[in-house]
C-alpha cells in the first residue's frame, strides 16, 4: 500500500533527515519544530534541541505553539534567556540550524526584512526582520533553509540580505569572517536542493513524488542547476506518518490536513 501524505508532511520528513544523531540543533516554531521532534523520535534520539528563547534540551509532551511555550520549559534541561542561547551559538556550540525566509537566492542568501519598493528604507513590504536567523547562519556549523517554492521566494538576488548564505559565491563567507560552513540544503514543497561545491550555486538534489522538472523550473526565478541524475525524494514511512499524525502534531497545529 502506498502511503498518502500531505505536502507539509513531505517537507517535514525531508527536513528531519538533515538532522543527525548527537547534534545540537537551533530551531523555531512551525515545520522546523515538528521536524526536530520527528528526528528525535526516530533516527536521532540523542539530538539536543534548543530555542532562541533560551530553552535547551526539552522533552515536550505535546507540540509547542511558540519558542517560549511552557510546554518546552516544563521538561527542559535548562531555561535561561535569549542572551544565553545566542552566546552558545556564537561560541560555536551549535551544529545545525533550520531557517525560513521571504526570499532565497541562488547562493542561499535569505531576505526576511524588506521586499520591493525603493530598498530597505522604503520597501513595498516590511517584514519581521532577522530575529536570530543571521546569528544562526553566521555562527552555526551549518544550516538548512525550509520554504515554499515559487518565483516570489526563489529570486536571482534577494532585495535585502538579511541572512548570509554563500553571499556572492566561492570564498565570500570566508572573506566576511563567517565561522559557519553555510547552507547545506533547501527543502521545499517541490523537492530537496543543495549547493555546488565549486560554484556555491543552488542545484537540485531530488524532486518529491509526482513533481516534474518543468514545475520546478517555472517556480524558480533563477537558472537552477539540474544534475544528470535526479532521483525522487524518499517518501515518508508509515512510522514517520503515524508519529506526526498521532503523537507529534495530532491537532494539526502546523501540519495541514489536505492530501497531496
> Burial of 4 by CB count in 10 Å (0-12 exposed, 13-18 middle, 19+ buried)?
exposed
How far lies 122's CA from each of 33, 125, 131, in Å? Answer: 33, 9, 20
Q: How many helices (H) and strands (E) does the chain have?
A: 8, 13
> Burial of 118 by CB count in 10 Å (0-12 exposed, 13-18 middle, 19+ buried)?
exposed
Q: Does 52 participate in catalysis according to the annotation?
A: yes
Of the candidates 9, 57, 78, 24, the residue with the CA atom closest to the CA atom of residue 233: 9
Is residue 113 within 8 Å of 160, Cβ to Cβ? yes
Expressed in angstroms, the distance from the first to the final Cα of the chain is: 16
Is residue 182 within 8 Å of 142, Cβ to Cβ? yes
Of the candidates 144, 219, 226, 151, the residue with the CA atom closest to the CA atom of residue 187: 144
Instruction: Given the residues 9, 21, 52, 258, select the one marked as catalytic.
Output: 52
The torsion angles phi and psi of 206, rounded to 5 degrees, stand at -160, 155
* Rounded Cα distance, 219 and 237, in Å: 27
- Catalytic residue positions, numbered: 52
Amino acid at each position: 500500500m502506498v502511503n498518502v501524505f500531505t505536502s507539509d508532511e513531505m517537507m517535514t520528513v525531508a527536513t528531519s533527515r538533515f538532522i543527525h544523531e548527537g547534534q545540537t540543533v537551533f530551531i523555531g516554531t512551525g515545520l522546523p519544530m515538528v521536524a526536530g521532534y520527528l528526528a528525535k523520535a526516530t533516527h536521532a534520539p540523542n539530538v539536543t534541541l534548543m530555542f532562541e528563547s533560551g530553552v535547551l534540551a526539552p522533552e515536550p509532551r505535546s507540540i509547542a505553539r511558540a519558542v517560549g511555550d511552557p510546554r518546552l520549559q516544563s521538561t527542559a534541561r535548562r531555561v535561561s534567556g535569549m542572551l544565553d542561547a545566542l552566546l552558545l551559538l556564537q561560541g560555536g556550540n551549535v551544529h545545525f540550524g533550520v531557517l525560513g525566509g521571504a526570499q532565497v537566492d541562488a547562493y542561499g542568501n535569505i531576505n526576511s526584512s524588506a521586499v520591493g519598493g525603493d530598498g530597505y528604507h522604503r520597501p513595498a513590504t516590511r517584514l519581521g526582520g532577522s530575529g536570530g536567523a543571521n546569528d544562526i547562519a553566521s555562527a552555526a556549523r551549518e544550516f538548512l533553509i525550509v520554504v515554499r517554492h515559487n518565483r516570489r521566494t526563489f529570486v536571482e538576488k534577494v532585495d535585502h540580505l538579511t541572512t548570509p548564505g554563500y553571499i556572492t559565491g566561492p570564498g565570500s563567507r570566508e572573506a566576511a569572517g563567517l565561522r559557519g560552513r553555510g547552507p547545506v540544503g533547501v527543502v521545499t514543497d517541490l523537492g530537496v536542493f543543495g549547493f555546488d561545491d565549486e560554484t556555491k550555486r543552488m542545484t537540485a538534489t531530488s524532486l518529491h513524488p509526482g513533481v516534474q522538472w518543468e514545475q520546478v523550473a517555472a517556480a524558480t526565478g533563477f537558472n537552477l542547476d539540474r544534475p544528470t541524475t535526479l532521483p525522487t525524494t524518499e517518501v515518508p514511512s508509515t512510522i514517520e506518518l503515524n508519529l506526526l499524525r498521532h503523537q507529534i502534531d495530532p491537532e494539526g497545529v502546523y501540519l495541514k490536513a489536505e492530501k497531496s
